[in-house]
Structure 1
């Protein structure tokens, strides 16, 4: 708008001045022409003819008349251009006015969009912070996957097998049969208690085999008994809430079952994780979990016929195999923390088959991979398994991620002959 106005203003002024000049010249020439005519008439009357001077004046007047005509034509052309310039100016002014209105609308729209953008950024920042907090809580609650826990179970199984072999190869046993082939029986009160404690963890059948077998040349049954005893204690440690009072343990387990039944998986898992973590903080000092493994080793050795007192053997095993026992406890506690407080999206549980239960191919594996007899009972478990439970639409479903490996009476002889119950012997 400003450029068009600036351009048209000088043109209008110039044309106005030019028109005034032409008008003045026209008036002057008209006046001269009239004067010339009067003088010409008077001259004719006086002389009756024309002179060269008069002819020259007449030519000059005619030339000026033609020049005036040309100027008038230019004036008309410039007036047309002026009209076009005025129309162009009007159109441009309307366009500028329209553009200014559009510019004001755009500025208002820009202001509105910028305000919405700032509000969106603020909301995005808030939601991002909330999402980060949610992810942090999820990572804090579910730091492990079921596959990571499965690796922990397999590592514990490996440590148990190696420890069983190491311990069995570290003790020498006397022959149990005398020259007449009679088994030497130990009927002292201390040994009766030993047999009872061994039976609680190993079962009657394995204890009987351990008592009557001769381990002087091959401690394979001792290795199997060590392995079975460690499996049971490790399974208990991995699932325990408190490690101390059995009544408190049962109370927490009962409460959790009610929570699992009433709540969804997320709520139940968070309750378990928080309760598990806080309850274990109430334990006074470090739990002496290694003593459980020591007791199992001592009871197996004495039941197998190793000649020593319970107290002396307890001190010997505690001192000599402290590193092995610490490794077992560390792995068992790591597994306890994993399934107790580090996984909430599902329910993970270590599995073993109690001595005497009926073999079930759907939930366990015969380590010999033989054909189980109908209704055959499990002799012992030699490797832990792992299950996963999920609550879907109010109902719990269970998946076996790793079946526990068990020994059946029908496959014991073959197992011992193959030497597959434990890894290669390790000398102390």
Structure 2
């Protein structure tokens, strides 16, 4: 037996395993699991004949090895399939995870799409604004080109031009510098330089003749003419300049920003205040009612004093907007905000007369220079105007709260000071914006006259000149109760001659219609 055992020592583990496998056809793979290795398997060995048979075990193992590997691979595939089939929770969790990730990707794509749409809308608005500005710039260039042509025609037909051309043709043919520019301003400068050269030539000739014929006053006359030409050139440059530092679109935007500031203050102040049905009958209330009626009309003053605002103070907010709009429009109608009243009246009359009798650039330049030098003579005038307007807005607003039955702020000084401290910065911002708008319309715009307008209380509604703030809730017919948003009007003198202009020769356009509230608003706010 020993020699036989020695023959089977080669490949002991593999041959023995295959030996028992070949002798045990009842070997089962039912206990085989994907989690166990081959070394952990337990299988019964039931040989049919326990007596060993002398045979070539190596050859038998080589023949049975492929069959065994195929069985093991088939068992692994079957076990993997059964485990996934018998455990549906694993497949469900995988599907849920996939669905969750797809939803997250979908939400991210939606957010990115909304951001892209908002960006596209913003760029479209910017494109429209730039296109509008470009159109206005082109129109302005066309107007200036026409003015240059008119100045050229005037200069060409003037007798002075004919006289100068006879002296300067030879000099201009030799000097190429005279052929670079055809603008009226450069031509005036060249004429002054040519007069200076002629003066020098004539002066040298006169000095040569002086030794023979004595003194000659002609050089002094030529010097006087040269100085007059220079002064005339500077005067034309000053009073015929129509360059605007602000465009019409920018002025409209400034008025709209001012209206937004007024609306924010009125809404914030009304929301902070509380109102009561009972109103004290005192001398202060009577005086405040009279002053509010003077500013905003008797109808609005009566509505504020008689109606209950404890539930819906919308009427109080509209009255606040109306009183601030009236305050600013009255201040901007003066020649210089904060200046002396009598002097303002006189300067306004002078400018009105000049606007109807002089060319548009002349009257605009006079107003700009006058307004500028008033502020240079009184450097503190701008700060004084801002503080005065701020104080007026507070005083008028507190009068409205008083007659409306407000319990906060109360008529006592402490409550009013708290109200001023709460809204002081906001009201001062409104005053600064109004004063800045006044400076722009008076000093930085030469081509037209811009006016901030508001509709008067008691005026009949006109859809071409104003907008009904509640037009969506009913017909826009009736009488104006107050103005809640300011408008803008542009006036230009079309006549080019120095003769006085009539109303037909003045072009008036409303660039921004004021927004008003009609007396029928009571039916909209409180329908009974």
Task: For 1:195 and 1:345, locate their aligned partners in 2 and report how far apart those are by CA, in whole Å.
Answer: 43
Task: For 2:363 and 2:238, locate their aligned partners in 1 and report how far apart those are by CA, in whole Å.
Answer: 19
Aligned with residue 220 of structure 1, among 311, 314, 325 = 314
Q: Deviations over 1:73-106 (max 9, x none)?
A: xxxxxxxxxxxxxxxxxxxxxxxxxxxxxxxxxx
Matched, 1:274 2:399: no
Matched, 1:361 2:463: yes
Aligned with residue 116 of structure 1, among 170, 175, 178 = 175
Determine which structure has greater relative contact order: mean sequence separation of CA pairs < 8 Å that are 6+ residues apart, divided by chain length: 1
| Cα distance, 1:265 vs structure 2 | 0.9
Aligned to 2:393: 293
Matched, 1:253 2:348: yes
1:77-156 aligned within 5 A: 115-117=174-176, 120=179, 127=186, 142-156=244-258
Task: For 1:238 and 1:277, locate their aligned partners in 2 and report how far apart those are by CA, in whole Å.
Answer: 16
| Cα distance, 1:232 vs structure 2 | 0.8
Contact conserved, 2:288 with 2:403, CA < 8 A, in 1?
Answer: yes
Contact conserved, 1:232 with 1:352, CA < 8 A, in 2?
Answer: yes
Structure 1 vs Structure 2 CA RMSD: 3.2
Aligned to 1:405: 515
Q: 1:129 to 1:317 in 2, by over 3 A?
A: farther
Larger Rg: 1
Task: For 2:361 and 2:446, locate their aligned partners in 1 and report how far apart those are by CA, in whole Å.
Answer: 7
Contact conserved, 1:298 with 1:313, CA < 8 A, in 2?
Answer: no
Contact conserved, 1:141 with 1:273, CA < 8 A, in 2?
Answer: no
Q: 1:384 to 1:122 in 2, by over 3 A?
A: closer
Aligned to 2:429: 327
Task: For 1:171 and 1:263, locate their aligned partners in 2 and report how far apart those are by CA, in whole Å.
Answer: 52
Extract structure 1 runs of 4+ deviating beyond 6 A.
Answer: 121-124, 128-131, 133-140
Q: 1:141 to 1:274 in 2, by over 3 A?
A: farther
Aligned with residue 166 of structure 1, among 244, 252, 268 = 268
Aligned to 2:218: none
Matched, 1:194 2:288: yes
* TM norm structure 1: 0.62
Task: For 2:486 and 2:279, locate their aligned partners in 1 and report how far apart those are by CA, in whole Å.
Answer: 33
| Cα distance, 1:391 vs structure 2 | 0.7
Q: 1:366 to 1:121 in 2, by over 3 A?
A: closer
Task: For 2:182 and 2:303, locate their aligned partners in 1 and report how far apart those are by CA, in whole Å.
Answer: 72
Q: 1:402 to 1:415 in 2, by over 3 A?
A: farther
In terms of mean alpha carbon deviation, does 165-174 or 192-201 score higher?
Answer: 192-201
Matched, 1:386 2:481: no
Aligned to 2:418: 316
Q: Deviations over 1:191-218 (max 9, x none)?
A: 2221122222221111111112222222
Aligned to 1:5: none
Contact conserved, 1:379 with 1:409, CA < 8 A, in 2?
Answer: yes
Aligned to 1:305: 405
Task: For 1:228 and 1:313, locate their aligned partners in 2 and report how far apart those are by CA, in whole Å.
Answer: 23
* TM norm structure 2: 0.51
